[in-house]
Amino acid sequence: MKKVTGIGGIFFKTRDPEKMKEWYNKNLGLVTNEYGSVFEFRNSDEPEKKGYSVWSPFSIDTDYFQPSEKEFMINYRVENIEKLVEELRKSGVTILDEIESYEYGKFVHILDPEKNKIELWEPVDDSFTQMYEGKTTK
């Protein structure tokens, strides 16, 4: 069974998320929206399918990364999140919450051995595309 299939997103804390998005837009050309920036790629096994990764600055005082005390969180793309969570539980991995479903995929959070919070995402890339259409600005 495949577990992680790629990076779903890089999330980090910053004092001023809007200013950070503007800087990355101006200096590095990232097209940003209210969430950050989206990177599109093609699935190497099925090139007709698109995939997405997200770059997203969060407010320095967010509690979204808790219980981790780190200033970043990585989101990994996965397949069959239910089975993966079952395997992780059997291996003694700390599962922080229940799997949540949205139109653009399923999510769950775990901790690694150094207490870094990790977000696992089983994407529905077609719905993800629709969510971001028309919301990007330059």
Q: Is the pLDDT of residue 137 over 70?
A: no
Helices (H), 56-135: 81-90, 125-132
Please give the domain boundaries of the chain with CATH numbers for all domains. 4-132 (3.10.180.10)
Instruction: Report the DSSP pairing between strands 117-123 and 72-78.
Output: parallel
Label residue 27 by pLDDT band (50, 70, 90): very high
Question: The whole model's pTM is what?
Answer: 0.85
Q: Dump pLDDT digits (tens) for 93-131.
A: 999 999 999 998 999 999 999 999 999 999 987 666 555
- Do 51 and 123 touch, CB atoms closer than 8 A? yes
What dihedral angle (degrees, nearest 10) is formed by the CA atoms of 73, 50, 121, 12? 10
Nearest to 12 by CA among 4, 21, 3: 21
Q: Residue 122's pLDDT is what?
A: 95
Label residue 134 by pLDDT band (50, 70, 90): very low
Q: Dump pLDDT digits (tens) for 36-90.
A: 999 988 878 888 888 889 999 999 999 999 999 999 999 999 999 999 999 999 9
Mean pLDDT (the chain, rounded): 90
Using CA atoms, how far apart are residues 5 and 2, in angstroms rounded to an integer?
7
Helices (H), the chain: 17-28, 81-90, 125-132
More confident residue, 9 or 133: 9
Q: Is the pLDDT of residue 135 over 60?
A: no
Token readout for 70 is 């780190």
Label residue 31 by pLDDT band (50, 70, 90): very high
Buried b (16+ CB within 10 A) or exposed e, 95-128: eeeeeeeeebbbbbbbeeeeeebbbbbbbbbeeb
